[in-house]
Structure 1
Amino acid sequence: MTEQRKLTTYAPTALWPDGTTARPLPDGVVAQGDVERAAAAKDPPPVTEALLTRGRERFGVFCAPCHGLAGDGDGVIVAHGFPAPPSYHVDRLLAAPAQHFYDVITNGYGVMFSYADRVPPHDRWAIAAYIRALQLSRRTKVADVPDAAEHLR
């Protein structure tokens, strides 16, 4: 069985006129997947205090062990020899859209595995919003935040 003749994906072949083993999808094919989850990926919820609170809680559970509580990439796993993830405060991630963080949580990136089966779409957006709040906390002056002085007393 291990040494049988077979075609591998994208290998050239003379079997079909186009010369490839990958075949186009037939007309009318229906994609498999979760329509609601696909819609959630495109439509982030509005950023509210409740969303940020949920994001902070979920970040603490799923993200902080690697990224650290402040998002500096100094989580507890780094102390045990795991490669340090990037800080959320580097220019590349400061410029990244919130969709980037949602996609990384969904699909993984580098040595980070996918959390799609562990973190529902709404929570992914909550985490992405909280990451934005972490980033803003380092770059924003107190004078730029309405009513900040009252909240800091």
Structure 2
Amino acid sequence: MNPRRLGLGCLVLTAAAWLASGCHTDMWRQPKALPQQGSAFFADRRSDRPPVEGTVAVGEYKPRDLRNTGYEGGKLATRLPETLKIEGEELSTSDTRSMARILRRGRDRFEVFCTPCHGQLGDGKGMIAQRGLELRRSPGNYHTDRLREMPIGHFFDVITNGYGVMYPYGYRIETDDRWAIAAYIRALQLSQHAQASQLGDRDRRALDRADSGGGS
């Protein structure tokens, strides 16, 4: 065989082998730590590293204040935060028109998340309680003396952290929407336990007509 051709053939084969080396699957087997995999590099033999103490996820910092905990001065709050951000707009809780919007939002969220167990009136007679899953503990009836006397922060806290067999909604419902629900629960309580003296003139006249059989 011609030595020149042999040398050329070897050169071609070498080049082909070199090019083919870039097509192997070694990048599929990178020297990296996989989740839940052991590691000889760290003293605790774990590849998963705990976050540095005090680490907070981006956008998740929430100060331990009234708005985020439902507590004020170490006790359950007896008032709403001064403002609530509802559907992107900051609303004052001391303004009547703003509170009407907050209550509408609270009713909307209540009907989505709370009605199945607690019922439309908050009496604990939702469809799940009546016909669905048998619960170890009946859903709360907001119209008992105990819950009527609870500060509004209690309802925010329960919505956030859960209670009994009720799981927490802290990661399911936005903070200010939870306050709106708590405000609506308080409105439900008043609707079923209000004194006539607390009503406006128009509502008292309607109540008087209903009592006398005159309808609305």
TM-score normalized by structure 1?
0.71
Matches within 5 A, 1:37-52: 38-39=64-65, 40-41=67-68, 42=70, 44=81, 45=83, 46=93, 48-52=99-103
Structure 2 residue 107 is the aligned partner of structure 1 residue 56: yes
**Identity, % of aligned positions:** 45
* Structure 2 match to 1:30: 54
Structure 2 residue 165 is the aligned partner of structure 1 residue 111: yes
Instruction: Tell me if structure 2 keeps the 8 A contact 1:37–1:121.
Output: no
Deviation at 1:74, TM superposition (A): 0.5
Distance 1:89 1:54 in 2: 21
* Structure 2 match to 1:124: 178
Give the AA of the match of 1:110. G
* Structure 2 match to 1:88: 142
Runs of 4+ in 1 over 4 A off after TM superposition: 150-153
Deviation at 1:150, TM superposition (A): 7.8
CA RMSD in angstroms, aligned pairs only? 2.4
Deviation at 1:146, TM superposition (A): 2.6
Distance 1:61 1:86 in 2: 17
Give the AA of the match of 1:95. E
Distance 1:141 1:73 in 2: 23
Instruction: Tell me if structure 1 keeps the 8 A contact 2:196–2:204.
Output: no
Kindly provide the CA deviation profile for residues 111-133 of structure 1, in whole angstroms up to 9, marking residues without a partner as x. Answer: 00011111001000000000000
Distance 1:37 1:118 in 2: 19
Distance 1:55 1:151 in 2: 28
Higher relative contact order (CA 8 A, sep 6+): 1
Instruction: Tell me if structure 2 keeps the 8 A contact 1:72–1:89.
Output: yes
Distance 1:95 1:133 in 2: 13
Give the AA of the match of 1:60. E
Instruction: Tell me if structure 2 keeps the 8 A contact 1:73–1:87.
Output: yes
Whichever of the two has the greater Rg, that structure is 2
Deviation at 1:35, TM superposition (A): 3.4
Structure 1, 140-149 or 96-105: larger mean CA deviation: 140-149
TM-score normalized by structure 2?
0.52
* Structure 2 match to 1:21: none
More strand, by proportion: 2
* Structure 1 match to 2:154: 100
Q: Where does structure 1 lack aligned partners over 5 or more consecutive residues?
A: 1-28
